[in-house]
């Protein structure tokens, strides 16, 4: 994922964790995943890591602190543009010096900025195998390997190297259904339990002359009686997890935004338009780092689905967004459980 894409996709990456199940071998894997997510969400740490994928390697620094129930985080790009993200509890401030802009938003979920590390909900094992896969050393630390691999071709999987002492994810690989690495987050330095003063959570960028854009999503509202939208098809295990409206940078028109998720993978669906004046429609597949996108033009509206899932998944979801009589979300019918 290139630098710009990484920062723009941060708000849509993670969900809450809860794992349960019967198999003894998988119980051990679940325990490691649970401890890992607790360490990422509630620990005090600082470190540097590499983000490798489809595009240039990006080097980042992260600071994370939980104190008196309040979360402070700061993520800094060391590779390009001086971009930073500062999180104070539920609010994110994304500093984009190359665009002289600060984006401010309150995402619907409460997740750490270490966004490429997955989290897991109770239904994840319907669609993924969760297994232990051995031990290795990463940056000189002994770690346990946990695999979370898809049961079909509608989603990607993960391989995680979890530090035996701190339970932090030292390396995280995003993998296709055959186990081939698509994207990697690799810590090169990590300090856990550090005393972090308030000063390290202040952005170094001088934003006094930047444009500040607040992207708070509007509360969900009833679809327009003239052109309501419905989702006619979703891959197995995917359900609508959030919906609403927001304004994107450079656009005066509100955009309908829906998130569909299987509890691990998520896809954002944007419905724009009709723009004024009309613009050239966008049709077909695209790619932003390890995320795939599919766009189509329907009834004067631009429909785009994007997520870190196989290209056939975003196409399947996007082609199922249709104008017509609104259908309640519980009425959605999953696709047959077949390989795409």
Q: Where are the domains of the chain?
A: 3-211, 217-331
CB 180 within 8 A of CB 310: no
The rounded distance, in Å, linking the Cα atoms of 30 and 18 is 9
Please provide the CATH number assigned to the domain covering 217-331: 3.30.200.100
State the average pLDDT over residues 182-191.
Answer: 95
Please say if the pLDDT value at position 223 is more than 60.
no
Cis before 277 (ω within 30): yes
Q: What is the mean pLDDT of the chain?
A: 80
Which class is domain 3-211?
mainly beta
Query: Among 61, 60, 70, 64, which residue's Cα sits nearest to residue 44?
Result: 64
Of residues 6 and 253, which shows the higher confidence score?
Answer: 253
Maximal C-alpha separation, the chain: 61
Identify the pLDDT of residue 21. 32
pLDDT confidence tier of residue 18, bands split at 50, 70 and 90: very low
State the average pLDDT over residues 104-109.
Answer: 75
State the average pLDDT over residues 313-331.
Answer: 74
Surface-to-core class of residue 22, CB atoms within 10 Å of its CB (0-12 exposed, 13-18 middle, 19+ buried): exposed
Identify the pLDDT of residue 114. 66
Identify the pLDDT of residue 3. 37
CB 128 within 8 A of CB 149: yes
Query: Among 121, 52, 71, which residue's Cα sits nearest to residue 266?
Result: 121
State the average pLDDT over residues 149-164.
Answer: 94
The rounded distance, in Å, linking the Cα atoms of 28 and 339 is 29
| Other C-beta atoms lying within 10 Å of the C-beta of residue 201 | 16
- Assigned token pair, 35: 């401890």
Please say if the pLDDT value at position 40 is more than 50.
yes
The rounded distance, in Å, linking the Cα atoms of 160 and 131 is 11
């Amino acid at each position: 994922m290139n630098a710009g894409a990484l920062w723009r996709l941060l708000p849509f990456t993670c969900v809450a964790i809860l794992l349960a199940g019967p198999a003894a071998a998988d119980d051990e894997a679940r325990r490691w995943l649970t401890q890992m997510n607790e360490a990422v969400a509630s620990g005090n740490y600082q470190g540097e890591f590499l983000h490798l994928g489809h595009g240039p390697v990006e080097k980042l620094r992260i600071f994370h602190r939980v104190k008196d129930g309040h979360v402070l985080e700061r993520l800094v790009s060391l590779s390009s543009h001086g971009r930073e993200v500062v999180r104070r509890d539920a609010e994110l401030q994304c500093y984009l010096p190359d665009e002289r802009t600060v984006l401010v938003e309150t995402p619907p979920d409460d997740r750490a900025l270490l966004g490429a590390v997955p989290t897991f909900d109770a239904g994840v094992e319907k669609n993924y195998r969760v297994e232990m896969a051995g031990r290795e050393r990463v940056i000189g630390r002994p770690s346990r390997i946990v695999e979370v691999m898809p049961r079909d071709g509608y989603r990607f999987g993960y391989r995680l190297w979890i530090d035996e002492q701190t339970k932090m994810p030292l390396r995280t690989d995003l993998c296709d259904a055959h186990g081939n690495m698509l994207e990697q987050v690799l810590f090169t330095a990590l300090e856990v339990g550090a005393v972090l003063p308030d000063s390290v959570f202040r952005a170094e960028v001088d934003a006094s002359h930047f444009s500040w854009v607040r992207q708070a999503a509007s509360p969900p509202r009833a679809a327009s009686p003239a052109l309501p939208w419905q989702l006619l098809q979703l891959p197995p295990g995917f359900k609508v997890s959030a919906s609403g409206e927001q304004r994107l940078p450079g656009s005066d028109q509100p955009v309908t935004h829906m998130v569909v998720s299987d509890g691990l993978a998520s896809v954002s669906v944007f419905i724009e338009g009709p723009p004024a004046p009309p613009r050239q429609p966008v049709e077909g597949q695209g790619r932003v780092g390890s995320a795939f996108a599919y766009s189509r033009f329907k009834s004067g509206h631009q429909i785009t689905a994007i997520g870190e899932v196989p290209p056939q998944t975003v196409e399947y979801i996007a082609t199922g967004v249709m104008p017509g009589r609104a259908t309640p979300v519980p009425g959605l019918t999953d696709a047959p459980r077949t390989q795409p």
